[in-house]
């Protein structure tokens, strides 16, 4: 029977470690601080950002939620970022995406000081990560590595296949797996004969953003599946295709009118030696790693060992 890699337990352990580190830093008069910038009124983003702010409070970090109006300009946002860069009580700056169309998101993200880039998106941090220097890694990618390590799964020497090449998940995950001495192949939606690659994977990371994109025949029996996909489905026929006979999912689907499926068809999990469920897997690590990155940023900025 496939082993379930419990994202809930791993995220809780990381948060507990962050809380302990925050207490130790408090003894030195340091309180890590996170500024979260949320533009406009996007319900999903509001829920996500407020959850981050709430988690900061629970772990003892200082946090500040800044909510510019939907009409904000690139120039106004740049002025805000520059002011946050200059503040000594702010160690991490989070700009919640997506931004309104009139705001130049790329310019804005590059304006964030690399030392405060807790999302790990700045080109300087990407370069540091690539060259093995101390860096702030993208939270989901860092969380994937934590899941594997804390579950006692071997990475070194394993054939790791990453399906997806986004700057947020796919590419940084590949870099981090290489740093752990895996042999890494990066595939994507235009890879020819994708199954010929996935069928050789000891570790298969799927982060392509397409529901149930990887199917049973693409899986090497006994491999570790890390499913980073979070796709909401509302169609009844789709639900039946993926979750027919699942009473718990059926009840939730009837109540909410939707459910979540990963980038791997759920039936494929049974072929794995271990897998991350959706929900309850990779997604839970993102906020935990954001908290860890904020503490890491606070220590790096002060020249403390990390």
Edge to edge, what strands does the sheet with 33-37 contain?
A: 62-66, 33-37, 92-95
Instruction: Give the whole-angstrom CA distance, residue 258 versus residue 71.
Output: 32
For the record, the structure tokens of 190 come out as: 């235009």
Q: Are 202 and 159 in contact (CB under 8 A)?
A: yes
Query: Which residues are bridge partners to 3 per DSSP?
Result: 274
What's residue 173's pLDDT? 98
Instruction: Give the whole-angstrom CA distance, residue 41 versus residue 109.
Output: 20
H or E element at residue 237: helix 236-243
Q: 27-113 with 139-285: one CATH topology? A: yes
pTM flag (> 0.85): yes
Known catalytic membership, residue 89: no
DSSP helix/strand/coil, 35: strand
What's residue 43's pLDDT? 82
Tracing tokens 């991490």 back to the chain, one arrives at 92
If you ran DSSP here, which 8-state letter would residue 187 be given? E
Q: What is the pLDDT of residues 135-162, one digit of tens each?
A: 999 999 999 999 999 999 999 999 999 9
What's residue 99's pLDDT? 93
Known catalytic membership, residue 167: no
CA distances from 17 to 12, 93, 134, 222 (A): 9, 21, 19, 31
Residue 291 predicted with pLDDT over 90 = yes
Residue 47 predicted with pLDDT over 90 = no
- How large is the greatest C-alpha to C-alpha distance in the chain, in angstroms? 58
pLDDT band with cut points at 50, 70 and 90 for residue 40: confident
Q: What is the pLDDT of residues 51-66, one digit of tens each?
A: 999 999 999 999 999 9
Mean pLDDT of 260-279: 96
* Catalytically annotated residue among 6, 91, 117, 119: 119
Q: What is the pLDDT of residues 183-200, one digit of tens each?
A: 999 999 899 999 999 999
* Catalytically annotated residue among 96, 158, 202, 227: 96
Fold of 139-285: Rossmann fold (3.40.50)
Q: Are 182 and 160 in contact (CB under 8 A)?
A: yes
Mean pLDDT of 87-109: 95
* Catalytically annotated residue among 6, 52, 171, 227: 52
Work out the mean pLDDT of the chain and round it to a whole number: 95
Mean pLDDT of 258-277: 96
226: nearest Cα among 197, 175, 269: 269
Tracing tokens 């690659």 back to the chain, one arrives at 197
Fold of 27-113: Rossmann fold (3.40.50)
What's residue 44's pLDDT? 80
Domain-by-domain residue ranges, the chain?
Answer: 27-113, 139-285
What's residue 5's pLDDT? 97
Q: Which has more confidence, 41 or 214?
A: 214
Known catalytic membership, residue 52: yes
What's residue 79's pLDDT? 98
């Amino acid at each position: 029977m496939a082993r379930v890699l419990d994202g809930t337990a791993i995220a809780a352990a990381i948060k507990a470690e962050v809380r302990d580190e925050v207490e130790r830093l408090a003894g030195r008069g340091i309180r890590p601080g996170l500024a979260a910038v949320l533009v406009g009124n996007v319900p999903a983003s509001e829920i996500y950002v407020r959850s981050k702010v709430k988690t900061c409070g629970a772990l003892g970090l200082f946090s500040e939620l800044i909510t510019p109006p939907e009409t904000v300009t690139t120039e106004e946002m740049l002025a805000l970022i520059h002011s946050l860069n200059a503040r000594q009580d702010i160690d991490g700056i989070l700009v919640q995406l997506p931004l309104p169309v009139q705001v130049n998101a790329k310019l804005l993200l590059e304006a964030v000081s690399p030392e405060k880039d807790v999302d790990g998106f700045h080109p300087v941090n990407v370069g540091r990560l690539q060259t093995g220097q101390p860096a702030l890694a993208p939270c989901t990618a860092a969380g994937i590595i934590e899941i594997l390590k804390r579950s006692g799964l071997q990475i070194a020497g394993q054939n790791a296949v990453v399906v997806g090449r986004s700057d947020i998940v796919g590419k940084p995950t590949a870099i981090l797996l290489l740093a752990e001495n895996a042999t890494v192949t990066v595939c994507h939606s235009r890879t020819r004969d994708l199954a010929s690659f996935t069928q050789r994977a000891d570790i298969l990371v799927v982060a392509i953003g397409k529901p149930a994109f990887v199917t049973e025949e693409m899986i090497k029996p006994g491999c570790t599946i890390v499913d980073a996909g979070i796709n909401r489905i509302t169609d009844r026929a789709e639900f039946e295709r993926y979750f027919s006979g699942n009473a718990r999912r059926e009840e939730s689907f009837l109540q909410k009118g939707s459910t979540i499926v990963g980038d791997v068809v759920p039936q494929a999990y049974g072929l794995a030696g271990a897998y991350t469920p959706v929900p309850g897997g990779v997604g839970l690590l993102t906020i935990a790693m954001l908290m860890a990155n904020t503490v890491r940023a606070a220590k790096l900025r002060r020249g403390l060992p990390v």
